[in-house]
Structure 1
Amino acid sequence: MRAVVLTEPGPVENLEIRELPVPSPRPGWVRIAVKAFGLNRSELHLRLGLAEGDLRFPIVPGIEAAGVVDAVDGATDLLPGQQVVTMMGGMGRAFDGGYAEYTVVPRSQVVPFRSDLPWAVIGGVPETVQTAYGSLTTGLDLRAGQTLLIRGGTSALGYATAALARDLGATVLATTRQPGRLDTLAEHGVDHPILDKGAIAEEVRRIVPDGVDAALELVGTPTLPDTLAATRVHGTVCFTGMLSNQWTIPDFYPIGYLPDGVRLSAYSGEANDLPSDVLQRYLDQIADGSMRLGPTHTYRLDEIRDAHRAMEDNTVSGKLVVLTE
């Protein structure tokens, strides 16, 4: 099979296309013929040497993949040819991930579905929707009629979260640092696009005087204090993303850092946090046109370096998807 191999942390040139043996599933694992996979900041962190944990190189990166069941060992509820997605669970870190024509993963992190959508669309769904859904439910407990601020709205996760929040019945505010993307946010259902010049709390409170009910922090720790300041007393900020590549707070002093009464939570989920019926519902809504998850940019496997450059340089808005065929 053809696969992308990261030889060691460093520049995009360390991503190489290689011919590798097709992996065999061990008991309780599933081999998936990968049709498409999405790119994620986690893989950028891995390539740049920012990832933590017991890492090994060379490795096939990729924390998600979409395709069909190719072989199973002991998983009697899945059949060859069945459409599935997979994500997280050590993919691309503890074992080879989704940047390949085949990947082998535990049955516990395989989510089946049925859809006639093209793989270019399906490939951008699994990790993005899992994280958006988990952030809104587990991280924020967002309810219909509430206000949500998304800090980092033109990321793939930002667009998806806006779509899911609007579907829930929330009013959405979302930020972008680029004036040319304000209209794109509005076109994708954001009620109040906001130009982020570094501090947006004052602008948010002009729209929602008491502060928003909930906020999703996707930029990282540099903007977190301002996001907290835009949130009402007893509101919640969920720390989910790190577009800035900064995720720690030196000398964190909670009483001095957190505004009175504003709650701070976090979300980092797994495949079992995205129930199959939830995934199916959103795929059906995408298919009938009632939901849009944002722009998608597709690449071939041979263009993986171009895709990583675009992700690192933030030259595109939305989700980057690689097709294996």
Structure 2
Amino acid sequence: MKAIVVRHPGGPEVLEYTDVPTPTVKPGWSLIKVKGFGINHSEIFTRQGQSPDVQFPRILGIEVVGEVAESTDDNLRVGQKVIFIMGEMGRAFDGGYAEYVLLPNHQIYPVQTTLDWPILAAIPETYYTAFGIFRSLQVRPNERVLIRGASSGVGIAVMRLIKSIDYDVQIVGTTRSEAKVQLLQEVGFNEVIVTGNDLPANIGEFDKIVDLIGPLTLRDSLKHLVEFGIVSSTCQLGGQWTLDEFDPITDIPNNRYLTGFYSGDVSQYKIQQMLDFIQLHPLNLSPDKVFTLSEISQAHKYLENSQNLGKIVVML
């Protein structure tokens, strides 16, 4: 089969499009025919050697949509439409950057959906994370919501999920690129602000803040929250993974709430709940750009250079 193999850490050029043996099914695992997958920042980090537990050579890819090709589980029938996300895929074992992928049965999630493959490929990791954030925010009518890292796939997905519930909510997005302001307004943001790690002093306060930059900007986000407001810190687009010497008593202002969403907490029920919500609400799920498997290095460059406005997917 064709696959993308990374033999050692490095830039996009280490993503080698090559022939490898198709995996052989073993007890407790199933072979999935890959239809498509999204490209994620965490895969860039792994490719660069920033995931210390990952051993090379490795086929990357933390998510996939496809069909069961062969299974050792009687509940997974051949041809069944499935989703797989996280669970050390692409890290501890080979991931979805391939025509076929061997996956542990207990983390393969059969789904019922009429969505086309390119649309479904744009959903798993991005929309599962965005849907978790969306639910944790408990958005109410007439609220003011800030999304930091608005041009990311998750940022746009959260905005679209909030807009889909038809509340009169003002959604403000942040970006580091002046060139993305008009584009973000066109996809649905009510206001867009160009800013760095610190928000402008005159930006005011927000009922809810989605901080996708992560630990790098979390303390600053908490300063701009109304009383009884919620900050959801999920993703680490700022490149900083942890927040040192964080004191919840002094760093979280009184009567404000801090939460997050860990996309590794997955179940078939939660995935189907997300898909059912998406199919019942008016959402534009089209990916920002679609690549082929042989164009993986271009896809990484596109994401790494922040050229995207939404999800980047690869279709086979």
Whether TM exceeds 0.5 here: the answer is: yes
Counterpart position of 2:124: 126
Residue pair 1:217, 1:240 contacting (<8 A) in 2 also: yes
> Which residue of the partner structure matches residue 55 of structure 2?
56
Match of 1:93?
Answer: 91
Q: Say yes or no: does 1:312 pair with 2:299.
A: no
Q: Does 1:247 align with 2:233?
A: no
TM superposition shift of 1:34: 0.3
- Is the contact made by 1:152 and 1:175 (CA closer than 8 Å) also made in structure 2? yes
Q: Deviations over 1:234-256 (max 9, x none)?
A: 22212111112112223334444
> RMSD across aligned C-alpha pairs, in angstroms?
2.3
* Residue 44 of structure 2: aligned partner: 44
User: After alignment, is 265-274 or 99-108 more displaced?
Assistant: 265-274
How far apart are 1:181 and its partner, in Å? Answer: 2.1
Could you tell me which residue of structure 2 aligns to residue 278 of structure 1?
273
1:104 corresponds to which of 102, 105, 112? 102
Cα-to-partner distance string for 1:151-189 (whole Å, 9 max, x where unaligned): 111100001111112224552222222233223223323
Report the equivalent of 1:291: 283
Q: Distance in 2 between the 1:59 and 1:196 partners? A: 37
Q: Helix, strand or coil: the match of 1:16?
A: strand
Give the equivalent residue in structure 2 for 1:231: 225
Indicate how the Cα distance of structure 1 residues 28 and 142 shifts in structure 2: closer, same or farther if over 3 A, else same.
farther
Q: Which residue of 2 aligns with 1:186?
A: 185
For residues 295 and 313 of structure 2, the distance between their equivalents in structure 1, rounded to whole angstroms, comes to 11
- In 2, distance between residues paired with 1:143 and 1:29? 43
The one-letter code of the counterpart of 2:284 is: R
**Contact 2:11-2:48 at 8 Å conserved across structures:** yes
1:154 matches 2:151: yes
Supply the AA of the counterpart residue of 2:212: L
- Which whole-Å CA distance do the structure 2 matches of 1:141 and 1:273 have between them? 23
Aligned-partner Cα distance in 2 for 1:86–1:96: 13
* The 10-residue stretch of structure 1 (217-226 or 184-193) with the greater mean CA deviation from structure 2: 184-193
Alpha-carbon spacing, 1:201–1:109, altered in 2? closer, same or farther (3 Å)? farther
**8 Å Cα contact 1:201-1:229 kept in structure 2:** no
SS in 1 for 2:301: helix
| Maintained 8 Å contact 2:30/2:105 | yes
Cα pair distance change 1:305/1:269, threshold 3 Å: same
Q: Distance in 1 between matches of 2:174 and 2:268?
A: 27
TM-superposed CA distance for 1:48, in Å, is: 1.4
Structure 1 residues 282 and 23 mapped into 2: Cα distance closer, same or farther (>3 Å)? farther
Gaps of 5+ in 1: 206-210
Percent identity, aligned pairs only, is 35
SS at match of 1:259: coil
Letter in 2 for 1:175: T
In structure 1, how many angstroms separate the alpha carbons of the residues matched to 2:190 and 2:213?
A: 20
How many angstroms does 1:99 deviate by? 0.7
Structure 1 Cα separation of the partners of residues 298 and 58 of structure 2: 19
1:264 and 1:283, CA in 2 relative to 1: closer, same or farther beyond 3 A? closer
Greater Cα offset, 220-229 or 265-274: 265-274
* Separation in 1, partners of 2:25, 2:156: 35
Question: What TM-score do the two structures reach when normalised by structure 1?
Answer: 0.87
Alpha-carbon displacement from aligned partner over 1:73-122 (angstroms, at most 9, x marks no partner)? 02x22221121111001110111111111112223322333445442222
In structure 1, what is the equivalent of residue 25 of structure 2? 25
Between the aligned partners of 2:280 and 2:2, the Cα distance in structure 1 is 33
**SS of the counterpart of 2:267?**
helix
Equivalent residue pairs, number: 313
Q: CA–CA distance in 1 between the matches of 2:241 and 2:165?
A: 29
Partners of 2:112 and 2:272 within 8 A in 1: no
Q: Quote the Cα distance in structure 2 between the aligned partners of 1:256 and 1:121.
A: 43
Q: Deviation digits for residues 240-288 of structure 1, max 9, x if unmatched?
A: 11112112223334444333332222222233176243243255358xx
Distance 2:141 2:82 in 1: 30
Contact 1:201 1:230 in 2 (8 A): no
